[in-house]
Amino acid sequence: MIFKSKFPDIKIPQTGIYQYITSNPNKIPDNKVIYVDGITGKSYTFGEFKHESKKFAAGLQDKLGFKRGDVLAIFSPNQIDYPIVVLGTIAACKVTTANQNYKATDLSYQLNDSGASVLIVHPEILEVAIEASINTKIPASRVLLFGDKEIKGYKPYRSVLINDREIEPIYYTPEEAKSTTAYLICSSGTTGTPKCMELTHTNMTVRSAHVIGVESKLGPHSTIMGATELCHIYGLNRVIHTNLIRGVTTIILSNFNVETICESIQKYKVNHIYATPLIIKKLVDDPLTQQFDLSSVDTIINAAAPLNDKLERKFYEMFKIPIFQAYGLTETSTVLQYPDTMKNTVPGSAGFLVPNMKAKILSEDGRELGYNEPGELCIHGPNILKSYLNNKEATDTAFDKDGFFYTGDIVSVDEHGNYFIFCRKTDLIRGPDGYVVPSELESILLAHEAVSDSAVIGYYSEKEATEIPTAYVTIKNGYKQSQVLAEEIQSFVDEKVLPYKRLKGGIMFTDRIPKNISGKILRRLLKEKLKNDIKE
């Protein structure tokens, strides 16, 4: 069965991403402030942004001989100049954004895979960049810094690239926009080696158009905070691209501690926030939040990782701010979200299929399923990646014969078009009597008074000759790790689930559940740990 979006199709933008997001449909003046550093107060107006980004593009051409098709890499935490460097590069060529937490080996891999020949880096992580640039034979003259200080002979990009000359961004015909790669974005690597993805200009323009369609209440009157990393597609698409075409004022944060977030909300009267589960959990857990006025916030969008129902309810009880879920992948960006015109959403749902998209849900043996039948979500639309870079095998296996992309996520959809996300296909625990969805057990674990965080994984038991559910938990202050507590927590869960879902592998205590920066559990690390922790 093929499922279609409930929304009418939108008109697909017929231009490059730079031209699209600076097209200014809301007629904001050039002196409108669009980006503000939430900590220092430094800002850029719309006019300043356009001039600076076009000067950056000119500098790449004039000083470094950049040409169409070349790649620049950005290695930096969030900061106010990030949008200028990203879109200044897009105006002239292609860009790849690297995770600020990378070690030199990780960064070297991305630089090699993407073919980057210039690296813009934040001074705080310069040493990692130097090692990676040496590994990948990028000359020191092509490693440039954010900021205004020269460090160890490495120069600020402004002193090298920014002069008076501006260029008009490269023009793309509609066909060129569909086929020309703009971004090379690496996956989070939660299941292994990251894959570099080719995202075209049309992929990116459609992604912004989707967000504008479902968040129709936002515009030049809005002040939006991005509490998410700009190096990831969530931050690039929503915080940089979509906010720019809306003409909103965007608050950019270089760190996400509770005091910084709350001070910025109060100071700038933020009314919309893009966040992740880690940010939401910080706000719930830290009593410091009660010292600030957060009443200006109307809505929070949670994406990048699933948000636990219990945490969502607790957040609303504390702050009376609704959280809307959104679902997508780096390969697709937003796939599911409710429109902001809805007053009531279905608990546990990630929303409706966004415009211009079709979906099907497949069983393990490849059959197309119907309503309320969980299976793997496969999607088709203009927002889906062009390919995995230098990896034809991965690209070929990512799509079925009809061009539907395999998301790897287990979902169901009801008769009203509400989609429910269960887990990654690879996270399913396969027992003889049925599948166990880890998130179901994790939610129950979090309801125990002693548990502060949890992760459930499958362990293959030779004795049982099958995978059995096993839990890692962290416990709250005031509780002590003990066999008695472990058995109590295990019984608490087992009493609430069917026999085949019980935690036969037991409860393991850990000081920390490993997660990536977006809040996704790194289950592969726990499975490695489990090999040493469990004995049959």
Q: What is the CATH number of the domain that holds 434?
A: 3.30.300.30
Query: Does the pLDDT at position 298 exceed 90?
Result: yes
Residue at 205 is within a domain: no
Report CA Rg, the chain: 23
- Which among 117, 148, 170 is the end of a domain? 170
Q: Which residues pair with residue 360 across a beta bridge?
A: 378
Per-residue pLDDT, 192: 54
- Which among 148, 170, 192 is the end of a domain? 170
Confidence tier at 344 by pLDDT (50, 70, 90): confident
Supply the DSSP symbol for 146. S
Report the alpha-carbon distance of residue 512 to residue 506 in Å, rounded: 17
pLDDT, averaged across the chain: 92
Query: Does the pLDDT at position 190 exceed 60?
Result: no
Boundaries of domain holding 448: 428-533
Per-residue pLDDT, 300: 95
Report the alpha-carbon distance of residue 126 to residue 455 in Å, rounded: 34
Residue at 300 is within a domain: no
Cα 430 to the chain's mean position, in Å? 28
Number of domains making up the chain: 2
Residue at 414 is within a domain: no
The answer to whether 241 touches 224, Cβ cutoff 8 Å, is no
Question: Out of 30-44, 95-109, 179-193, 368-382, which region has the weakest mean confidence (pLDDT)?
Answer: 179-193
- The label of the residue with tokens 């679902």 reads 327
| 426 residue type, one letter | T
Per-residue pLDDT, 194: 74
The answer to whether 419 touches 412, Cβ cutoff 8 Å, is yes
Give tens-digit pLDDT for 451-499.
999 999 988 777 777 788 999 999 999 999 999 999 999 999 999 988 8
Of 108, 194, 192, nearest in space to 389 by CA:
194
Residue at 486 is within a domain: yes
Residue at 94 is within a domain: yes
Residue at 295 is within a domain: no
Report the relative pairing of strands 3-4 and 451-461 from DSSP bridges: unpaired
- Which among 118, 147, 170 is the end of a domain? 170
Residue at 343 is within a domain: no
What is the percentage of the chain residues whose pLDDT exceeds 70?
98
Q: Work out whether the CA dihedral 60, 62, 65, 68 comes out positive or negative.
A: positive
Per-residue pLDDT, 17: 97
Report the alpha-carbon distance of residue 66 to residue 84 in Å, rounded: 17
CATH number at residue 59: 3.40.50.980
CA distances in angstroms from 413 to 5, 28, 126, 352, listed in the order given? 12, 40, 47, 9
Residue at 100 is within a domain: yes
The answer to whether 422 touches 376, Cβ cutoff 8 Å, is no
